[in-house]
Amino acid sequence: MFRYTIRRLLQGIITVWFIATATFIAMHSVPGDPLIQNKAATAQIRKNLEIKYGLDKPVTQQYLIYMGNMLKGDFGISFTQQNRSVNDIIVKHFPVSATLGILAIVFAAIGGILWGALTALYRNRLPDVVIMFLVILGISVPSFVFAALGQLALVHLNALAGRTLLPVAGWGTVSHMIVPSLVLGLGTMAFLTRLMRSSMLEIVNADYVRTARAKGLPITRIFLKHELRNAILPVITVLGPAIAGITTGGFVVELVFAIPGLGRYFVQAVQQLDYTVIMGTTVFYGAFLVLMVIIVDLLYGFVDPRVRVE
Amino acid sequence: MSDVITDSGDSFTRSAGRQLALLALFGILAFIALAILLGWLSKLTSGGGSLSEAVDPLTGTITLAMASEPPQLDSTRATDQVSGFVLGHVMESLLRRGPGTKLLPGVAERWEIDEKGATFWLRPDARWSDGKPVTAHDFVFAWRKIVEPANASEYAFFLYPIKNGEAINRGELPVESLGARAVDDRTLAVDFERPTPYFEKLVVYATYGPVREDFYESCNGRYGADADAILYNGPFRISKWVHGAHLRFEKNPYYWDPDRIKLDVIDMPYVTNDANAVLNLYKDGKIATAPLSAETLNDALEHRWKINRFNDGSVFYTEFNHRPGRLTANVNLRRALALVSDPGELVYKVMKVPGNLPGVSLFPAWLPGVNGLFRQEYPPATVHVDVAEARRYLELAKQELGVETMPPLILLTGDDPLSNSQAEYFQNVFKRTLDIDVKIDKQIFKQRLAKMTAGQFDMVAAGWGPDYDDPLTFGDLFSSWNKNNRGAYSNPELDRYVRIAQSSLDPKARMDAFGAIQKIVQEDVVIIPSYERGLVYVRNPRLNGIVRRVVGADPDYTSAYIGGSR
Amino acid sequence: MAEVSLPSNAFEPVTVERRVQQLTRPSLSYWQDAWLRLKRNRRALASAYIIVALLAFTTLGPLLWRVDPASQDVDQVSQTPWAGRTATVVPPYSPWDTQADARTSDDSAKPLSLAIAAPANTQAVRLVWTADPQASGYLIYRNIMLPGPEHDLGLPLGEVVGSDQTRFEDRLDLDPMRYYYSVVPLDADGMELAPGPPLAVDVTRVITAELAVARGLVPQTRKLADGDAVRLALHPFGTDYLGRDLLARLMYGARVSLFIGIVAPFFFVLIGILYGSIAGFVGGRVDSVLMRFADFVIALPLLLFMILFKIAFGIGPGESGIVPLLVALVVLSWPGTARLVRGQILQIREEAYIAASRLLGAKTRYLILRHMIPNTLGVILVTLTFAVPSAIFTEAFLSFIGMGVAPPTPSWGSMCNDGVKTMLTHPHELIFPALFISITVLAFNLFGDGLRDALDARMRSRE
């Protein structure tokens, strides 16, 4: 187990290096000029800027310098926010995105498992039909439409209540987090519900469940220990990739709800061709996702005794 | 097989349903607990959001939303509009802007400007937010910083009128040789590189603001990056700056003229450029002003809100590529295109925002002339859409270019929805009236600028915001040496008039020169004016005294107050 | 005992039937069986019909609904569905010649009493009012409702400078409806004084004869006189922000969205099959090297790289940007399928029936054609159907952050994004494209579900 973990981590490090290199290549093949400004700078001012950001050196040298700095954990200084380091941006804004993402994932997982179990239980009856209809709606509407509708619903809710029940946008308190994380988790929840339902239906027919029934085990025990627990396994497997999916929607929700997350910074940085921020966030996100997948794999080993050793 | 369970299972279902309900309860509780935990944790990294109302007369607080946060607030390097807005509230330069275009004493009590240089006498009660006085040394330090090559300040050219400014910026002279020195703590003497009669219009800018050396050095290169890494000398100071989320101004207790400032707190806990989100915040009573767009106008009308308009002084136009070999270097083609463009239709039917004015000239309507407004003293010729005439010009152009059919033209445009719809509109107009194919080249901001600079376009949707309130800020745009002349228009005649306008001290001669430039730009169809930008916004009726400015910090809340109607 | 008589024909020799046991069901191949099961799944079948209908919508639709999706009509912006209306023919717009038109409203009237100088129509509303000698200028407002006591005068249309300037022409986005105009005098400092009484103006919809002919609303031969009524073009789904027909744009937008949605998955699944099967067959070191590389690509954050690729490729003038989008999607998405196919092949290779087949002397080609491909095809088909919605979503998301296809090419995603902004005032601009995305995604999802159930060998044994 320990050796497996080490091996996975080593692989992860190589993967991160690969991501960094790919990002660097992509970044430097982008046409356009990161230093250009709306009001043209003189040649001198421009040269001063190039020297400051090391863009006057050959690309290979820039690559080596960048990799060296990255090993030291230094992503450089932002091009647009000229006296903020990319590390500072990540440290300040990633926790926001992560908070939103974790809440969304937890919401999606809880909701997905519960709804999924419920639909399997009431299969082909009214609750099943209603929930599955909602689920289908959840997976077929783009996230930005949900975000916009969610915010609109909040405005009307507050207007009806005559006071601010939940804030319309912004960040900082628990009440700011609830609706954005619900909106963000909705798609994933719908997906997990479907997965949970089919996995439950498969298990209901499994031999060990039949055995458990034949033994006359208490119903609650069968349901909790045999059915629910085993049906959750496939849900856990997809949690890793689901986190990646959450970052996607994260951009949209952060834009619409005025949340100072990293995703919004990334989109801004792309518009501004802010090399260092783009590189820093991409590498960081890549590393984060790699780590998440490893953690989920290890976690899976704990939950499912059958895959303990690979 | 599967039926067995449902048959025997009603009791099972019920029991399991109960279990699920219990689990759901636990799940919801866990979710809430986690939210509270994360909320507490996130308070450590980003200060708590505000839930206050838009306008609070008890605490003198107003709440606003920002479209984006300032990249940084080091006045020696700030170039963008948001930084300008913030610095305009928390910093004060030698002079400050009064109502209209009037300049009032700021840190300087009085000043003298002559051919050779200028002298500023600083007021004794001007103080930094730590209580120490603002001295002439602080200005000298800031100005040296701006021209210092290592600082790579983009507005360094702003200080080129000061003696040796340009040479220092080029690295040829040491920074100490800058023609600005502190005679004593309260006297600042400036030597000019060349006569600069408009110097007082320059020192009002935030770029010319002071920075205190000992504090700057103590920040280790982070000056301006955070609220505690700046010293303030303006009416307000920043009491909280959570990046990307929250900016809060509080009245600066050390400001020399405290009675002028009516608001105690300007809170900006929202940073978003999503128009719907901002309007939703306004509807929810969370912010005091919100911009409106064509899409939200009717919504605002139905809420019976009071709607305000303001022209921000910028001019937008279609700029041609005049480089030799380009199709658009042909004046008859440009004339043909200009004759079918109807700025009125663009503004009234496509953009649909009442603040915008149809473009008629390079020089916007607000610019001052000799006595009154420039455009009233030198009215531009009126152009009417004339498709038949345009087709004649097009035939001429085809002959001169030696082509049977006009090859497609490239229209470079930005990636925002507004410029997209304009590009689509022009594409349609040129196709419908002249049968010219237009290829839209949509690029993100920096790539568009790079393509503009490299001349990879035939037409580009461009615009210009004024740097100062003199026609020259627009007038020299198409001089052959101007780096912002990205269409590379070159006309010795126009250059000559620009030189007159730049150097002449006679107002009438200057305005005549601008009149001539306006005529050349129109007759030679250097650009096709599209519109003068207008903004439409709603404002909480209890908040009054907001000053909107064409140049300088906009909007200006330093003289805003709560009260008035209602 | 009674005698029992039996007729001789009561006895017959037993005929031995030589028929063997008859099969109760016809023999079905794997695909026939899957097809049968798919046909029985009503949801999947309906989805299949929907997919076919969508394809027909985008391919055949433009043949039936011959409206140019790029044709703009700025007089008919954001029309609601089925707004087929009539317009009156008027001469073309000409600027208001204020010198010639010396008309002002009655001088004897109270100051600031408004009147219209010409019949109000959607071209322009020309207002005149009596001067207020104290005013330094005037602000003109327009509202869609009668202003209330709180002076909610509506839109500030414009400002005129000078006390004697008492004319204003309104051309701003006029709809055929009733407007309420007010004029507010300004004092010397530009502050607003008390407004004059509002004037209600009913605007009529007009069109010029030239435009009516150019838009094909009337036959070329018909001479239009001013005052004639013309029926305007019908827009079953309404129009967008530039007055373009939404139905036509949806049809063309479907091309982009479905093209990306179907072609991109097709290519990356194809690459994935090749890559995965090579790795699976060859095995050994090649396999591990190939799979390591696939792992790297899988680890790239998809959306961040989509955006990066999008700007790195750059779109030239006049290009829609579909190809870069497609390439980026293919480049980033193939490893998933590759891993899946490799896994399948490794698994099948160990199956008993392969060993049996091999023992019976089957050649590799036969094994691949007869066993490997049919047995992996099911999984691949299912992946394909699920990849379609995610590709469509990716395109929509990129459009949302302004990185989608370039104008004027429509796509459902970009139409949705445009629609979100006008959600409150013109909901149809959001609802229709969003509905189409939803239906497509839904159809492919349900079809994928059905396909998976049908192709699942385990389901087969259950009947």
DSSP string, B524-561: TTSEEEEEEEEEEEEE-TTEE--B--SSSSSSB-TT-E
Which residue in chain B has the smallest CA separation from A273? B446
**Rounded CA Rg of chain A:** 24
Write the pLDDT tens digit of every residue in B268-302: 988 888 888 888 889 888 899 999 988 888 888 88
Query: Is B51 touching A (CB cutoff 8 A)?
Result: yes
Task: Give me the pLDDT at residue B48, please.
Answer: 44
Residue of B nearest to C419 (CA): B295
Kindly tell me if the per-residue pLDDT of B325 is higher than 80. yes
Rounded to a whole number, what is the distance in Å from the CA of A22 to chain C's nearest CA? 9
Question: How many whole angstroms separate alpha carbon A132 and alpha carbon C442?
Answer: 12
**Residues on chain A touching C396 (C-beta within 8 angstroms):** 142, 144
| CA-closest candidate to residue B221, choices B69, B68, B70, B77 | B77
Q: If you measure CA to CA, which chain B residue comes closest to C144? A: B301
Per-residue confidence at B303, pLDDT binned at 50, 70, 90? confident
Choose among C310, C148, B124: nearest CA to A30.
C310
Domains and CATH numbers, chain C: 45-68+242-462 (1.10.3720.10), 89-207 (2.60.40.10)
Chains interfacing with A (3 or more CB pairs < 8 Å)? B, C
Q: What is the mean pLDDT of chain B?
A: 86
Point out the residue among C144, C155, C317 whose CB comes nearest to the CB of B439. Answer: C317
Between chains, do B41 and A99 touch, taking CB under 8 Å as contact? Answer: yes
pLDDT at residue A79, as a whole number: 82
Q: Residue window 256-275, chain B: list those with CB within 8 Å of chain C.
A: 275
- pLDDT bin (cut points 50, 70, 90) of residue B335 is very high
Of the ranges A2-11, A193-202, B71-80, B113-122, the best mean pLDDT one? B113-122
For B85, list phi and psi in degrees, rounded to 5: -60, -50
Q: Do A169 and B281 touch (CB under 8 A)?
A: yes
Range with lowest mean pLDDT among A239-243, B317-321, C146-150, C316-320: A239-243
Is the model's pLDDT at B376 over the cut of 70? yes
Task: Please tell me if residue B309 touches chain C, with a CB cutoff of 8 Å.
Answer: yes
Is A197 in the B-facing interface, judged by CB distances under 8 Å?
A: no
- Residue A16 Cα to chain centre, angstroms: 17
Smallest Cα distance from B481 to chain C, Å: 28
The beta-carbon neighbor of A144 closest among C300, C305, C400 is C400
Band (C107; pLDDT cuts 50, 70, 90): low
Predicted pLDDT of residue A241: 67
Q: How confident is the model at residue B565 (pLDDT cuts 50, 70, 90)?
A: very low
- Using the Cβ of B559 and the Cβ atoms of chain C, whether some distance falls under 8 Å is answered with no
Q: Flag whether pLDDT at B215 surpasses 90.
A: yes
Q: Does C297 touch chain B (CB under 8 A)?
A: no
Q: Tell whether C245 is within 8 A of chain B (Cβ).
A: no
Question: Which residue on chain A is closest to C421 by alpha carbon?
Answer: A148
Written as tens digits, the pLDDT of chain A (310 aa) is 678 888 888 888 888 888 888 888 888 877 777 777 766 666 777 777 777 777 778 888 888 888 888 888 888 888 877 778 888 888 888 888 888 888 888 888 888 888 888 888 887 788 788 888 888 777 778 888 888 888 888 888 888 877 777 888 888 777 888 888 888 888 888 888 888 888 888 787 778 888 887 887 777 777 777 787 788 877 777 776 677 667 656 888 888 888 888 888 888 888 788 888 888 888 888 888 888 778 877 777 776 666 554 4
What are the tens digits of pLDDT across the range B158-177?
Answer: 888 899 988 998 888 998 99
Assess A42–C contact: CB distance below 8 Å, yes or no: no
Nearest residue in chain A measured CA to CA from B74:
A83
For residue C156, whether the previous peptide bond is cis, meaning omega lies within 30 degrees of 0, is no
- For residue B5, the model assigns a pLDDT of 44
Chain C, nearest residue to A152 by Cα: C424
Residue C61 has pLDDT above 50, yes or no: yes
Going by C-alpha positions, the residue among A110, A115, A117 that lies closest to residue A223 is A117
For C87-146, give the secondary structure using H, E and C: EEEECCCCCCCCCCCCCCCCCCCCCCCEEECCCCECCCEEEEECCCCCCCEEEEEEECCC
Q: Residue C407 is nearest to which of B295, B302, B442, comparing CB atoms? A: B442
pLDDT at B190 over 90: yes
Closest among B346, B463, B457 to B412, alpha carbons compared: B457
Q: What pLDDT is recorded for position B177? A: 92
pLDDT at A42: 67
Least confident of A301-305, B78-82, C140-144, C216-220: A301-305
Decide if C311 and A144 are in contact by the 8 Å CB cutoff: no
∠ CA(C166), CA(C170), CA(C174), 5° rounding?
Answer: 155
Q: Which of A227-241, B546-560, C393-407 has the lowest mean pLDDT?
A: A227-241
Contacts of C307 in chain A (CB under 8 A): 266-267, 270
Q: Contact B245/A33, CB-based, under 8 Å?
A: no
Each residue of C272-301: pLDDT tens digit?
888 888 888 787 888 888 888 888 887 777
pLDDT at A3: 82
Of B171, B277, B451, Cβ closest to residue A169: B277
pLDDT above 50 (res B3): no
Q: Which residue of A has its CA nearest to C393?
A: A142
Checking ipTM against 0.90, whether it exceeds it is no
Kindly give the residue spans of alpha helices, DSSP state H, lying in B187-248: 199-202, 213-218
pLDDT-based confidence at residue B47 (cuts at 50, 70, 90): very low
Nearest to B447 among A31, A39, A114 (CB): A31
How far apart, in whole angstroms, are the C-alpha atoms of residue C139 and residue C166? 10
Give the tens place of pLDDT for each residue, B454-512: 888 999 998 888 888 888 889 989 988 888 888 899 999 999 999 888 878 788 998 99
Judged by a CB distance cut-off of 8 A, whether residue B220 touches chain A is no
Please state the rounded mean pLDDT for residues B256-261: 88
* Partner residue facing A26 (CB), from C312, C416, C424: C312
Q: Which residues of B touch C150 (CB under 8 A)?
A: 304, 306
Please check whether residue A18 touches C, CB under 8 A: yes
CB contact under 8 A, A260 and B149: no
Residues contacting residue C233 through CB under 8 Å, at least 6 positions apart: C67, C73, C76, C84, C215, C217, C245
Average pLDDT score over residue span B515-521 = 93
Do the Cβ atoms of C82 and C428 come closer than 8 Å?
no
How much is the pLDDT for A40? 63
Residue B7 confidence (pLDDT) above 50: no
Rg, chain C, Cα only: 36
The answer, for A126 touching chain B at a CB cutoff of 8 Å, is no
Nearest-neighbour CA in chain B from A4: distance (Å): 31
B52: pLDDT confidence band, cut at 50, 70 and 90?
A: low
CB < 8 Å to A115, chain B: none
Q: Between chain A and chain C, how many beta carbons pairs sit less than 8 Å apart?
A: 113
Chain B residues whose CB is inside 8 A of the A272 CB are 445-446
Q: Does C462 touch chain B (CB under 8 A)?
A: yes
Instruction: Give the pLDDT band of residue B1 (cuts 50, 70, 90).
Output: very low
Handedness of CA C441, C443, C444, C446 (dihedral sign): positive
Task: Average the pLDDT over B430-447 and give the result.
Answer: 87
Which secondary structure element, helix H or strand E, spans residue B180, and what is its range?
strand B180-184
Q: Across residues B70-75, what is the average pLDDT?
A: 87
Q: Mean pLDDT, to the nearest integer, of C173-201? A: 86
User: Residues of A with CB below 8 A from C305's CB?
Assistant: 22-23, 26, 282
| Per-residue pLDDT at B127 | 92
- Which position has the higher pLDDT, B341 or B11? B341
Q: Residue B419 has what pLDDT?
A: 86
How many Å apart are CA B203 and CA B199, to the nearest integer? 6
**Closest Cα in chain A, distance from residue B480 (Å):** 14
**Average confidence score pLDDT of chain C:** 81
Residues of C with Cβ-Cβ distance to A244 under 8 angstroms: 301-302
Q: Select from B48, B415, B446 the Cβ nearest to the Cβ of A33.
A: B446
Q: Measure CB to CB from residue C74 to each of B349, B354, B420 and give the nearest one.
A: B349
Residues of C in contact with A281 (CB under 8 A): 304
When pLDDT is cut at 50, 70 and 90, the band that residue B211 belongs to is very high
| Pick from A25-29, A302-306, B221-225, B520-524: least confident | A302-306
Q: Please state, for a pLDDT cut of 70, what percent of chain C lies above it.
A: 92
Q: Looking at chain B, how many residues does it have?
A: 566
pTM score of the predicted model: 0.84
Cβ of B17 and A118 within 8 Å?
A: yes
Q: Is the peptide bond before C92 cis (omega within 30 degrees of 0)?
A: no
Q: Number of A:B CB contacts under 8 A?
A: 255
When pLDDT is cut at 50, 70 and 90, the band that residue B515 belongs to is very high
Choose among C148, C406, C426: nearest Cβ to B304.
C148
**Cβ contact (<8 Å) for B15 and A107?**
no
Residues 6+ apart with CB under 8 A from B395: none
Give the model's pLDDT for residue B566.
Answer: 35
Chain A: nearest CA to B410, how far in angstroms? Answer: 18
Taking CA atoms, what residue in A is nearest to C412? A142
Q: Which residues of B touch C422 (CB under 8 A)?
A: 295
